[in-house]
Amino acid sequence: MKIALSWLAKYIEIKENTKELEEILTFSGIEVEAVENIPALPETVFSAKIISAEPVPETDHLKRCLVDIGNFPCPEKTEDGYLQVICGAPNCRTGMMAVIALPGSVLPEMTIAKAHIKGIDSCGMLCSEKELGISDNHSGIIELSTETPIGITANELYELPDTIFELEITPNRPDLLGYIGIARDLSAKLNRSLKMPEIKIPEAKCKAETMPLELVNKVPELCPRYIARLFNKVELKESPLWLKSALIKSGLRPINNLVDITNYVMLEYGHPLHCFDYDKLAALPEKPGIPAIVIRRAYQNEPIITLDGKSYLLEGEEMVIADGIKPSAIAGVMGGNISAISETTKRIVLESAAFNPSSIRRTSYKHKISTDSSYRFERHLSEYSAEDASIRATQLICELANAELCEVTYDSFPFPPKPLILGIRSDRYTQVIGYELEDEKIRDYLERLGLKFLQYGTWKPGKINDIAEIESYSSENKQKSIKAQYYEIPHCRVDLEREIDIIEEIARLDGYDKIPVKTLPQRIMDRHSYRIKKNAVDYLVSRGFYETLNYSFSEPDLLYKLGYEDGDRELEMITLKNPQSSNQSAMRTSLIPQLLQNLAYNLNRGEKNIKLFELGKTYHRQEALSYEPYFLAGIVTGLNKEEHWQDKASPITLFWVKGIVEELLSLWHLENWSVQETKVPFLSRTESASYYLENKELAYYGKLNSIVAEKFDIDTIELKQDIWIVQFAMENIINATRTLKTHFQEIPRFPFVTRDISFLIAEEIPYSEIIKTIAEIERNIISEVTAFDEYRGKQIPEGKRSLTLRLKFRDKEKTLTDERVDYLIDLIIKKLRETWQIKMR
């Protein structure tokens, strides 16, 4: 569930910053899964009017627009005082009000620049919601009301900056499925007043005989309450911007004023609503001429087509909202198209109901339909909240659709539930939570939550329907009676059924951090560190490596053989006062010497294809204490896999070892690393590399120098094989990945388009910088950039190299056209020329 801070602030004063509010929500039991900040936009992004929109010759969708930006100063204006803009949006047309970003405007994913498209200057951009960072809607440019003045900034239009919280609501708290519920909970936590919307329903002008209705509830056990309000002379039109903006920020797409109103009230009160076209409702056969709404079970094999155009065959257990003949909706799940609102709708029925949660849950699961409506109904909504939502929607329909309210309200409420009364003992709170809380404090917390205090009395367990059942408490006879407070539970808190539920609410409001901890939990392991190391070991084993285990003791002479010199950090070893032997006289500072000894041992016994690794600590001096970081080192030589007659093996090469390193870094989700020259003395300078992230080394690989190999009794001339070494600085990797989170990414629905470009570029320019330059242009559409050819030769000028890139383009919202891709290619080439002075081949 997404909530916008600007909308939430309409019900409760918010003084805290985003981080503080996130912590308050989380420690109140409302889990914050994600926080998205929508920044303020530049003042050069504002409302404007399209004076004309003419097709660009030889294109199928581009239009040359003249845009009136009012008195805003802009040197690119034409002689008539308009701005010329090229736009490819399908809804772009003459006379519409839109949002324009002038050249130089910095948007969330791009910077607007003056462009030359199909021989025409384009001075700005007509923006979609996605380009402004408001939503993912990229289907067309923003269409404002024709009454919107020119020059209103996007910040005013969309209440920016804003913050969007994505919340995970537990199934037992349906009262939190709307803004008012969240505000009510914060009101209790922060002890601030709750500001409810002012509701004034206009006088009913439509007489009952004008719009008669037959309401029949055949399954009151499945539908304990059903409210129907009728409206005449409804005007179906586009919603005002404040309503559309509120829905967009909360993750819903605006459709029309009636649908938007029901969605708005659902988000506000947490209770779903639905509108039927009154004139499409059939009458009961026995009562012709009177449109009917019948709440019943579906018939066996009864068909229905829902609003999304899908057909379902009902099995007889589902509950439906039908007219006199056919089902008009799958109750609590989705409406049907037979009575859907359309452009011809003039009279409507507003439904607000409460359904049995188990029935909705079974229907949703059986037909694999999950909607905002079913999500709420299957968590048990109160019968009384149906009336609150209906009244609020009535007000908005009369205001925003200029509708006339019918004087009769149809309300099927056969068995109103009796008020629930629960008691709580302060002594029991102390026993369960672990500390005392005064009666006055308990009462204060519960009244903030909306519980109505009734009286003190002698303790009586269970649910109480009549306060007269409670005996008065006598302080003179404490041994025979236990003091308790009694409260009437508000209808919205269907989760409060027992004393322990109330105790949990008090503890939540008072703060879980106040609960005393008698025994601190013992942290016996770092789970994140364990997972990262286990991932590495599992991966190397899967690639044919064998793990070795060497002593933590070593000898300094081995490090001299590697090429280290006095003053190098590796030679500052911690020596043992009484070593068992000379070759175990110091604590090791590197895993490499012992791995070379392991390699020599195996080579001397006839093994030629060897892949070994070790994961272990090294020991370094650090003032009075030692520093003991983990490293993962590997050594390989020979063939890259087992020999097979059908699949020939090949010698291990630089690229095979490089692939091992980069695959592991990718497995840990490490990105944005840089490649630098390796500083270790025992590797070849030309066939080695180190990987850094924020100036900390992550890993290195390289070919072992033959001179170093000979010092470890390995004759590379006789061996006729290269020896490769890799090492990972596990401490740096563990710290770099500790705060990383894995995010779900939807599988793309639309195909990608491939283009190749080839150009000359200076040799000193890193490939990573070229990728960054390209990504800045359209990060969400340029999905992949690969360098598949690099050439240096006689035809290439000195200091240059020929680079060929393969670019993949994909739009998540629609299929890309050739014109759009060509336009992006032109932008990429222009950017590369301006930034790196490339020359196309």
Q: Would you list which residues are annotated within the binding site for Mg(2+)?
A: 495, 501, 504-505
Report phi then psi at 645, rounded to 5.
-65, -30
**Is there a contact between 471 and 486 (Cβ–Cβ < 8 Å)?**
no
Is the C-alpha dihedral spanning 42, 46, 52, 56 positive or negative? Answer: positive
d(CA 117, CA 657): 46
For 40-67, give one letter per residue: b (16+ CB within 10 A) or e: ebbebbbbbbbeebeebeeeeebbbbbb
Q: In what order do the strands lie in the sheet with 546-547?
A: 546-547, 610-617, 630-637, 723-729, 696-704, 683-693, 674-676
β partners of residue 198: none
CB-based contact 391:199 (threshold 8 Å): yes
Are 613 and 591 in contact, with CB atoms under 8 Å apart?
no
- Whole-number Å distance between alpha carbons of 145 and 97: 7
Distances (CA, A) of 610 to 466, 598, 711: 82, 10, 19
Q: Please check whether residue 616 is in contact with residue 629, taking contact to mean a CB–CB distance below 8 angstroms.
A: no
What is the spatial distance between Cα 66 and Cα 93, in angstroms, rounded to a whole number?
Answer: 11
From the number of C-beta atoms within 10 Å of its C-beta (0-12, 13-18, 19+), residue 659 rates as: middle
Paired sense of beta strands 610-617 and 546-547, if any: parallel
Contact 77, 83 (CB under 8 A): yes
Contacts 24+ apart (CB under 8 A), 687-690: 687/654, 689/658
DSSP 672: S
Distance of CA 807 to the CA centre of its chain: 27
The residue written with tokens 């939550």 in the block is 449
Q: Which runs of consecutive H residues, i.e. helices, occur in 652-704?
A: 654-667
- 297 phi/psi in degrees, rounded to 5: -80, 150
Peptide bond into 357 cis (omega under 30): no
E-strand spans in 433-569? 452-458, 483-488, 546-547, 553-554
Q: CB atoms < 10 A from the CB of 697, how many?
A: 18
Any residues with CB less than 8 A from the CB of 579 and at least 6 apart, and which? 553, 585, 586
Q: How many CA atoms lie within 13 A of 220 on its CB side?
A: 9
Report CA dihedral (69, 75, 78, 80) to the nearest 10 degrees.
60
Query: What's the length of the chain?
Result: 841
Q: What is the 3-state secondary structure (H, E, C) of 567-590?
A: CCHHHCCCECCCCCCHHHCEECCC
Q: Supply the DSSP string of 54-86, one letter for each residue.
A: EEPTT-SS-EEEEEE-TT---TT--TTS-EEEE
- The Cα 519–Cα 597 span in angstroms is 48
Using CA atoms, how far apart are residues 39 and 195, in angstroms rounded to an integer? 26
- The span from the CA of 314 to the CA of 367, in Å, is 9
Residues making up the annotated binding site are 495, 501, 504-505
Q: Structure tokens of 520?
A: 């601190």
